[in-house]
Structure 1
């Protein structure tokens, strides 16, 4: 998996918000400061996740997606590979961009990228309140509800290929 430091690919256009692009970046990319700022705003400030849990060792190895509109990061998630499984996490969409299809576009882009890179499935720890969103994208709940950073989560999985 040799991903360039920054690779721009067009995402499907959202009918509700003119999404400029989604870019794949690594932890060393200049855009990461804006990605981390958005994640901090959503996770730490809005949801109360302890700041020391928001950034972890997986960020260094992950591929990060950044949704850009007018040059500003309005959404993000990260993909961590574990052999034939891609794990999606740290999804965040700015408050003014929510309910406009950005999360869906990020997830669809991530699934396509993971599939192209040979992943057979995607797993994620969904916030319990967001599980219906992921179900609409074809993810299936697995196991019991658990606490992560003070927020109820459930594991979800989506097969990409046999």
Structure 2
């Protein structure tokens, strides 16, 4: 079980969030480093999952009108398949709803499509390439 909370962009813990994202996306998945951190990070709502004082999971939420876009979802290799991703996504949905969003959209890696479908997301459109990895857009309406 982990503890999940919002991390402000200026919080010292953000360095650990970025380190986890770098390990998952750049080192494990080969995403070019210059694509991993972008301008959206400054205005995003960042969530972190902590266990024993370590950041073991993260994602970011970008609000656009009545929609929330989730991205940069990462869970440390040693914490996968333990429910951390599900906990992060549930916390993100509650956070987005509180902030006025009616739906969540995200670009899921095709290999993670089943994970998001089990959480109530539906795929839309054809697969597309993002940083050399096949993705599919997914959407879920939020309960108000």
- Tell me if TM exceeds 0.5: yes
1:88 correspondence with 2:88: no
CA offset digits 1:129-159 (Å, max 9, x no partner): 0000000000000011000000000000000
1:25 correspondence with 2:2: no
CA offset digits 1:97-147 (Å, max 9, x no partner): 000000000000000111111100000000000000000000000011000
1:118 correspondence with 2:112: no
Aligned equivalent of 1:104: 86
**What is the aligned-residue RMSD (CA, Å)?**
0.9
Could you tell me the TM-score, scaled by structure 1's length?
0.87
Size of the aligned set, in residue pairs, is 144
CA distance, structure 2, for counterparts of residue 78 and residue 88 of structure 1: 6
Aligned equivalent of 1:134: 116
Could you tell me the TM-score, scaled by structure 2's length?
0.98
1:1-162 mapped onto 2 (5 Å cutoff)? 18-19=1-2, 21-161=3-143
CA distance, structure 1, for counterparts of residue 9 and residue 128 of structure 2: 28
